[in-house]
């Protein structure tokens, strides 16, 4: 894995392998939110410090050129300072990012959102541009 002296230098062959494995299960879907301000993609997020290597399916909302994404999940996400996020954008390109996020919270927009967990994913590194 990465050198312990730099906690943000997490890109390695293992990270790339894990990203490719996560991307293999993604479907190609693009939609816009109700207000037309966000692009919505299917994705997966994984805590790179989790030795089990589990990942959670998420919906990724991208708003313009902001340095973060909003992640929406059907189950709670624990906080992570070393997370791998992958999602697929048309025409079948995979995007991969290293970042961090707090613990997710229940959605607040309406009664349906209370069942969903929402969190901001802060981008540290674009793995696709390494």
Q: Can you tell me the mean pLDDT for 4-11?
A: 50
Task: Tell which wins on pLDDT, 105 or 6.
Answer: 105
At 14-58, the pLDDT tens digits run 777 767 776 666 555 545 455 567 888 889 999 999 888 788 999
> Is pLDDT at 8 greater than 60 in this prediction?
no
Q: How confident is the model at residue 2, as a pLDDT?
A: 45
**Which domains are delineated in the chain?**
13-129 (2.30.110)
Q: How many CB atoms lie within 10 A of CB 42?
A: 18
Q: Can you tell me the mean pLDDT for 57-68?
A: 88
Which residues are CB-contacts of 79 (< 8 A; sequence separation ≥ 6)?
A: 101, 102, 103
C-alpha span between 15 and 20 (Å, rounded): 9
> Is pLDDT at 130 greater than 50 in this prediction?
no
Task: Tell which wins on pLDDT, 37 or 82.
Answer: 82
Residue 96's DSSP bridge partners are 86
| Unique residue bearing structure tokens 């410090």 | 49
Q: How confident is the model at residue 67 (pLDDT cuts 50, 70, 90)?
A: confident
């Amino acid at each position: 894995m990465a050198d312990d002296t730099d906690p943000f230098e997490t890109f390695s062959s293992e990270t790339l392998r894990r990203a490719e494995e996560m991307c293999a299960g993604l479907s190609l879907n693009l939609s816009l939110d109700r207000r037309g301000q966000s692009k919505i993609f299917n994705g997966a997020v994984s805590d790179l410090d989790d030795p089990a290597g589990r990942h959670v399916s998420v919906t990724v909302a991208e708003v313009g050129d902001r340095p973060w994404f909003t992640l929406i999940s059907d189950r709670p996400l624990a906080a992570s300072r070393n997370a791998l996020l992958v999602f697929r954008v048309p025409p079948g390109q995979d995007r991969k990012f290293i970042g961090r996020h707090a613990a997710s919270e229940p959605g607040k927009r309406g009664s349906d959102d209370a069942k969903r967990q929402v969190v901001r994913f802060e981008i540290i590194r674009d793995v696709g541009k390494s």
